[in-house]
Amino acid sequence: MSFTIAFSGKGGTGKTTLASLCVRYLKEKNLSPILAVDADPNSNLNECLGVSISANVADIRENSLEREKNIPTGMSKPDFVKYEIHRTLVEASGFDLLAMGRPEGPGCYCYANNLIRKFIDQLTTEYKFVIIDTEAGMEHFSRRTTQKVDLLLMVSDYNLRGIRAAGKIKELVKQLNLKIENEYLILNRSPEKIESSVSDEITKNDLVLGGTIPEDDEVRRFDIEGKPLIGLPPDSKCYIGLTKILNKYIK
């Protein structure tokens, strides 16, 4: 059975950066096979991982509505969807990547979504670890898969607004009835000493702090130069900080 780690947080907190570095961590620990899932409609996990994508699951959903045009003669719709999902999968060095794409537009997608959910659930069982970069609201993740999440890491900047946003994500997880085994707050770009006002806000939002990650100029430099963040140097403060956190929860 696969171990699923999901990263969530409002835009700009660094969740995609941390998701990509989590893939690197697992690769270095020889914990393959690894599936990275980009469940954020604003897909850029592939850029952090240094791979290109040509299609996503949303494209499969759209194409399935025009089955007379798109499904080859003699192939059933379920077989077509399964084939397309595997064709969309990007195979990289040490991991695979599946991009979910945008939410639904106008039209009836129930049948297509049920097929997609079924085959993605089957697909994830083929991997030891599944890393999911979710949208802030988690609804996209809820629509796309029924599998449980073993570890949810809610990423926030070092400010009260970000912590409140993480608190809302936790509440939304309850409302959506997602299967979450463990959930922790991660403070990104954080000083070593946490101020009392920040600690109080964490407690007020019923969050458990899983760890902090310091500001890292290397992350900013890689972003500006357009380099994949998975290639950060081994002494990167961000990567070392995430490694310390993951060491506590991944054995």
Token pair of 16 as six digits: 């995609």
DSSP string of 31-89, one letter each residue: ---EEEEEE-SS--HHHHHT---S--HHHHHHHHTTHHHHSPTT--HHHHHHHHHHHHP
Alpha-carbon gap, residue 131 to 119, rounded angstroms: 17
> Looking at residues 73-79, what average pLDDT do you find?
73
**Residue 182: which pLDDT band, with cuts at 50, 70 and 90?**
very high
Highest mean pLDDT among 94-108, 131-145, 204-218: 204-218
What residues does each domain of the chain span? 3-249
Question: pLDDT value at position 107?
Answer: 47
**Residue 104: which pLDDT band, with cuts at 50, 70 and 90?**
low
Q: Specify the higher pLDDT residue, 70 or 221.
A: 221
Q: What percentage of the chain carries pLDDT values higher than 70?
A: 84
Q: How far apart are the first and last CA of the chain?
A: 15
Please check whether residue 90 is in contact with residue 36, taking contact to mean a CB–CB distance below 8 angstroms: no
Question: pLDDT value at position 239?
Answer: 98
* 145 pLDDT higher than 60: no
**Residue 67: which pLDDT band, with cuts at 50, 70 and 90?**
low
Count of other CB atoms within 10 angstroms of residue 150: 19
Please, which residues have CB within 8 angstroms of residue 129's CB and are 6 or more apart in sequence? 2, 3, 4, 5, 26, 31, 33, 34, 35
* 95 pLDDT higher than 90: yes
Question: pLDDT value at position 106?
Answer: 47
Alpha-carbon gap, residue 121 to 163, rounded angstroms: 31
What pLDDT, in 10s, does the model give residues 214-235? 999 999 999 999 999 999 999 9
- Among 171, 246, 248, 247, smallest CA distance to 5 is for 246
What kind of fold does domain 3-249 have according to CATH? Rossmann fold (3.40.50)
Q: Which residues pair with 138 in a beta bridge?
A: none
Q: Specify the higher pLDDT residue, 171 or 184.
A: 184
Please check whether residue 166 is in contact with residue 23, taking contact to mean a CB–CB distance below 8 angstroms: no
**Residue 76: which pLDDT band, with cuts at 50, 70 and 90?**
confident
Query: Is 180 strand, coil or helix?
Result: strand
**Residue 113: which pLDDT band, with cuts at 50, 70 and 90?**
low
